[in-house]
Structure 1
């Protein structure tokens, strides 16, 4: 099955008594992260690498049980790469770009999520969430050994929170009893059922869809005919569910999702013999397999009204929740951290006003609404709510087998892509009639450069990207230092750099934020306009 380090109860950070527990006056920490899952660990990596002291409090002692999230998108991997753990994830994960859609016993079409070359990372990898978490914990340990101010405390459960004007007071329960500490900033990464959200009297708004899906993760014995692709059946011929999804994971484990309806007895459905009945109908009675993990989930598309409440910020499932089809859960949570980390870092260092954190709420609520819209549309297509919508869906599926115009209407889960923050107050007016994919607000696409890739040159700084344009090697603006990355279209004989960043222009200058989103672009360097764009991107002139 899984490597022993990634199974239930692996104690990655077992409880140890801290000196905070022996202080009469509560110790104040710059940042406390509540929750040690993937989003909490990503937050610790982002801040710790900036030199910002960060304390993670987790009521467990390490990675959890079961595959849970398994699909990690290209943008998520690019973020992990910047943190220093993207390559081990890629090495472990099962790479896939192709998906196939079936209606009953017929393949109606297939799609390629990354048909173009010139990217370091693929469209997706599949990998069990415990691996994803552990790679980040391993990276945090490496950084700790190098002196990064990251601390992780297991079996430290936050029981109460008091939000003050300039800090937060937390009561923490441990095996040795309770203690109190304080935080300048508290970040809630404690999952969809977020105790922090409940303590603060905040709630989700949105929809719960009346349908259920059964997850069965199985380890196949012997060869199978399934390739490394995403396969989705509408009305499958094996009748194990109204729809079925198949993915391959590492360790010869396969994820199968069965749509089982709303009015079901969950306890009965989760009995091994009943799960095996569904699997045998799909795979055939002669296929041997081991049942690794199972669960039942309900489609939900909900979010908090705001992701910031004074000194408290929320990220990941604590802030928003979407149905699993489309892989928008963990992937959008990583984009939350990517957006929040540099902003909070600048605020703590006194290089940006506190109001910059309001743009975390603005941009990531925008991203959550985009995810919820796509997830809701996927859910409505997968689970028709009326006879007319069922007829429409089946007609679309039948047409898509022979007619290309119908294929974009098929929706088995619009898969996660990076959010473009159109309309963000941090964007400067577009000064270049360039490619739409690199307009202000967009995440920078990768491009090949000799024996490397463009994104690898950006790092964590504000970057002045110049393509066949003159500019100073560095520029300081009110505490923010721009580092120039100078490249030429001639560095990429494939033409992909020019196609993604120049379009019809012969030169370009881009202001890139630390999260690798475009803040401004022009065809040539203009110092005054770039300085204005830096101030705007750091919340000083917006």
Structure 2
């Protein structure tokens, strides 16, 4: 059994703050050293912003927990300097299969086109994910970056003020007080920060439960996502199978609503269910067992003055579609560049309201898709079940029915349609790269596009002239000049130009399109920069 989650990675160490005569003021404090909190902290440190991470634990998460990490978050992790070890360790997959009873009714490919550096998904236990992120923190510390993780530092009280936040922190050696200009709460679904501020979720709790079992076994199932509706081994319910590294397999079994959760987690009850699925002859060992209840909820607002919520602390979805941790990483990707500009005085504080607007939009999109998946997977009436089963039967032989099958609409990056940061579209180009969209990757010889966009404003010109550098009210925009003459695969043309001969894109630090034009027009681009930084 893997014991990595028992090793303290950021053991308690007394901080100088605990002996200071007055509370020490930090630039940013992050509560929670899970994937989302660590992503926020790494991003801040890479931008040269001092950050301290406070966590009531001192080690990675117990059990694999989140395991499916999608292409867009992997691209974000590349920018944070920790994507490659995760891809190297993770199990890569693009293909999913859907079964009804004991029949495969169809399969699907989540990344059918070529020309992307990253796969549609990897499966990787959360404890590895967090370990690699902590390793990245250590690398940054060795390089002199202003980042610190404090284990066994539990935030017990929060005081909010117009220009800072005050935190009361409990440690094994007593309590102390610190202050921060800004606080990012990434302390999970049960967020103590949310409770201390008197905030709550709005949304739905579905009347159903799933058993999660991480099983160590030597099995010959392919590296695919398998989902069963009404399988013989779990009649009237559903099931899910994923492969993870180290011979670990994730199995999800729907149990229904009226259950004794503690009883269902006992090995003597879990093992017979797994044997019914895998066969009596299969030898396996339980690594981790849990039960989750479907929830699709969010805070009404993610920003409350100088306290900003991200990840599960801000929103929850049922796990079908792998939208939890993936959306949390997109939260921090959206937030940190805006916070940096505000802290540097290069953007008004109101720019942070666009974080709230854009990521609430993303949460609502995830909740809508997750709710629809849950309703399809767990029909609440006999008529709903009859209709669902008819769709599944039809999907085996009729392609038109397959889009109606919903075993979890898998995570895709959010497009911020209607964002106040978008400029009007002046290029009749591909829909996938309209303003608000995340930039799709494209091959550039032996390299790829997205790493060249880095974490700053970029003016991407494709067969168009423009200055190499534009500065607008303190914000620098550097040019990336490309040509379809060097585009052997034509992916760049197909994804960014369509039928046009040239194009100019203003791309935000989070690699979302802010504006696009057929050619460079300086007044229009400068206006687009002001708009993208909340000044218009």
For normalisation by structure 2, the TM-score amounts to 0.99
Q: Which residue of 2 aligns with 1:25?
A: 22
Task: Indicate which of 11, 15, 22 corresponds to 1:14.
Answer: 11
Tell me the residue number matched to 2:211.
Answer: 214
Q: Conserved in 1, the CA contact under 8 Å of 2:183 and 2:306?
A: yes
In structure 1, the residue matched to 2:136 is: 139
Number of the residue aligned with 2:477: 482
Task: Tell me whether 1:58 sits opposite 2:93 in the alignment.
Answer: no
**Secondary structure in 1 matching 2:234:** coil
Q: 1:269 aligns with which of 261, 264, 270?
A: 264
Work out whether residues 241 and 259 of structure 1, in 8 Å CA contact, stay in contact via their aligned partners in 2: no
User: Matched residue of 1:33: which SS?
Assistant: strand
Q: Note the C-alpha offset of 1:10.
A: 1.6
Aligned with 1:268: secondary structure? helix
How far 1:241 moved relative to its partner?
6.6
In structure 1, the partner of 2:346 is 351
1:455-499 Cα deviation digits (max 9, x unpaired): 010111100000111111111111111111111112221111100
For 1:529, the equivalent position in structure 2 comes to 524
Find 1:92's aligned residue among 79, 89, 93.
89
Deviations 1:339-368 (A, max 9, x none): 001000111111111000000000000000
Q: Which residue of 1 aligns with 2:201?
A: 204
* Whole-angstrom distance in 2 between the partners of 1:70 and 1:467: 37
CA offsets 1:165-214 (integer angstroms, 9 cap, x no match)? 11111100011101111111011000000000000000000000000000
Residue of structure 2 in register with 1:399 after alignment: 394
Distance, in Å, in 1 between the alignment partners of 2:356 and 2:144 is 31
CA positional deviation for 1:225: 3.3
Deviation at 1:63, TM superposition (A): 0.5
SS, match of residue 155 in structure 1: coil
Distance of 1:514 and 1:345 partners within structure 2: 11
**Alignment partner, residue 280 of structure 1:** 275
Q: Secondary structure of 1:384's match? A: coil
SS at match of 1:91: helix
CA distance in 2, matches of 1:380, 1:307: 26
Match of 1:40 among 24, 37, 47: 37
Specify the alignment match of 2:360 in structure 1: 365
CA spacing shift, 1:436–1:240, aligned 2, 3 Å = same
- Give the structure 2 partner of residue 111 of structure 1: 108
- How do 1:177-188 and structure 2 match up within 5 A? 177-188=174-185
Counterpart Cα distance in 1 of 2:310 and 2:509: 18
- 1:437-462, CA deviations, whole angstroms, 9 ceiling, x for partnerless residues? 00000000000000000001011110
Structure 2, unpaired ranges of 5+: none
Query: Quick one: distance in 1 between partners of 2:281 and 2:351?
Result: 60
Select which of 80, 97, 102 maps to 2:99.
102
* Structure 1 residue runs without a partner (length 5+): none
Q: Over residues 493-531 of structure 1, what are the superposed CA-to-partner deviations in whole Å (9 max), with x where a residue is unaligned?
A: 111110000000000000000000000000100111000
Aligned to 2:384: 389
Match of 2:300 among 297, 302, 305: 305
Question: Could you tell me which residue of structure 1 aligns to residue 466 of structure 2?
Answer: 471
Q: 1:240–1:281: 8 Å Cα contact kept in structure 2?
A: no
CA distance in 2, matches of 1:455, 1:521: 17
Q: CA deviation at 1:240?
A: 6.4
User: What is the CA–CA distance in structure 2 between the aligned matches of 1:374 and 1:313, rounded to whole Å?
Assistant: 25
Post-superposition CA distance 1:253-291 (Å, at most 9, x none): 100000000011112111102111011111110000111
Local SS of the residue matching 2:480: strand
Which residue of 1 is the match for residue 410 of structure 2? 415
Q: Distance in 2 between matches of 1:162 and 1:281?
A: 53
Q: Which residue is equivalent to 2:369?
A: 374
| Equivalent residue number for residue 230 of structure 1 | 225
The separation in 1 between residues aligned to 2:234 and 2:427, in whole angstroms, is: 54
Of 296, 304, 309, which residue of structure 1 is paired with 2:291? Answer: 296
1:88-117, CA deviations, whole angstroms, 9 ceiling, x for partnerless residues? 111000000000000001110100000000
Greater alpha carbon shift after TM alignment, 344-353 vs 417-426: 344-353
Aligned residue for 2:494, secondary structure, equals helix
Which residue number corresponds to residue 318 of structure 1? Answer: 313
Rounded Cα–Cα distance in structure 2 between residues aligned with 1:127 and 1:460: 25
Contact 1:161–1:168 at 8 Å: present in 2 too?
yes
What residue number does 2:168 align with? 171
CA contact (8 A) 2:30 2:41 kept: yes
Aligned-partner SS, 2:216 = strand
**Which residue matches 1:130?**
127
- Hey, which bits of structure 1, 4+ residues long, moved more than 4 A? none
TM-score computed with the length of structure 1 as normaliser: 0.98
- Say whether the 8 Å CA contact 1:109–1:400 is kept in structure 2: yes
